[in-house]
Structure 1
């Protein structure tokens, strides 16, 4: 069994931690305030000790204020750490808009957020054993379209050609674990069926017996800037590399299986 250090015990990383602990791993993670049994990110002594003792190191911390906080603070320590595996949870947002085309790991990095693009590249350069996981929209228990439907926050947007990819949180954990025995590199982790967000809303409403939200334009929906930005990019995320090189296959290959597991 290994010792995993996770920078940023958020939603996806927390699910990974649970999976590893169930397998007998020793897992320690950082949070901003050191709540529970985590380490405070600013507790440099404790973090450096964890870096030195970890066999595996993962960062799920996104860029902030134009920089990657983990690399800004602990780059040198991670670069020389004795860990045999290092990983970073990135975003398929680095690909930018593809006008609905498939994007592969070899696609140009041209996302609209320079800090996210730079962080993705910086982790790849850090050392030779880094695996970077580019993730699309993440969903799972407590964070899915079913929750938004129940809360009256679901929208159907009149953009008929818009396509998105997504990944269930358990499949992120499965992909990371599969990479422990695979080659380092950049991997897309996404399900097998990109589709319009409206299809999820319609499927979820049918599951819950809820009425469909009205079909609206972006302006009519009154979406937040972050939500509007979600609709500014259009792409299908290919997952074949992870399947070939990591022998990873999503437990939830489409939103149908994934949402059934979220009820």
Structure 2
């Protein structure tokens, strides 16, 4: 089986690292040509440029030889860049499994309620509305071609090099307090395990929430991380006066508790890190802060 990946970012690279042995060939893209050359030089896999101003002509050939396609590239200004450029090639290819990485942001604000895949998506931000539109475009492709298209709605991703310890060490962490606010999280290795399980059990039109078992207040996670690593705890800051970027502040305008029952019951996923406690502890134990 050959895999092609649009968008070799944090999550997709981890999936490739963990699952490369199951594929005969893996190839993928990044946005900048220089980064593509650097990654290709350091990787056993071909890496091509695919961005606003660069589109490697070899991508079409890779798609023709691919059996599975993972799409991790974010939408462009006018929708999905992958479909805009390669819709025909993908439809005519032998690709049988397509995974699209989306976000639980498409659910919008649910007032802190527990939700699942049956909950209506009511995105509030423009970026989430764009995500939902792209989800539907990929699902339409699956319905029209019979290719197994799966949408994975990811919660807040953490893992080696991308976790609360990093900001604590850099002195950039904030312990922001907003009453009743919780966020959902998922360790990158559990995302990889979910994608691998889906490859074994494809279902065209499937939508999966990929999140751990315990949505938690952000300040509680920061406090736990500081205690684990023996790092100074930043002072508590009220949300209304916190120094946040507009995007970061917008995240606090959405509050929900997302269930992961479907990945467990349908795909047989057993989370290695069912809560932030196990996930953060593993990073400390492995020295992968």
Indicate the TM-score class for this superposition, using the shorter chain for normalisation: over 0.9
Q: Which residue number corresponds to residue 164 of structure 1?
A: 183
Q: Which secondary structure state, in structure 1, belongs to the residue aligned with residue 3 of structure 2?
A: strand
Question: In 1, are the aligned partners of 2:48 and 2:56 still within 8 Å (CA)?
Answer: no
TM alignment of 1:170-249, pairs within 5 A: 170-182=189-201, 183-184=203-204, 185-249=206-270
SS of 2:26's equivalent in the other structure is: strand
How far apart, CA to CA, are the structure 1 residues paired with 2:220 and 2:21? Answer: 35
Alignment check: 8 A CA contact 1:20 1:27 kept: no
SS in 1 for 2:98: strand
User: What whole-Å deviation, never above 9, does each CA across 1:33-64 have from its counterpart, x for those lacking one?
Assistant: 23232012243531111111011001001112
Asked if 1:132 is matched to 2:151, the reply is yes
* CA displacement at 1:156 relative to structure 2: 1.5
CA contact (8 A) 1:9 1:60 kept: yes
Cα shift at 1:160: 2.4
Unpaired runs of 5+ residues, structure 1, are: none
Unmatched tracts of structure 2, length 5 or more: 41-46, 285-289
TM-score (norm 2): 0.87
Task: Describe how 1:1-263 pairs up with structure 2 within 5 A.
Answer: 2-23=1-22, 25-32=24-31, 33=33, 34-35=36-37, 36-37=39-40, 38-41=47-50, 42-112=54-124, 113=126, 114-127=129-142, 128=146, 129-182=148-201, 183-184=203-204, 185-263=206-284
Distance 1:230 1:22 in 2: 37
Structure 1 residue 12 displacement after superposition: 0.1
The 1:25/1:169 distance shift into structure 2, 3 A limit, reads farther
State the superposition RMSD in angstroms: 1.4
For normalisation by structure 1, the TM-score amounts to 0.95
Structure 1 residue 241, shift from structure 2 partner: 0.6
Aligned residue pair count: 262
Secondary structure, aligned partner of 1:167: strand
CA distance in 2, matches of 1:80, 1:235: 39
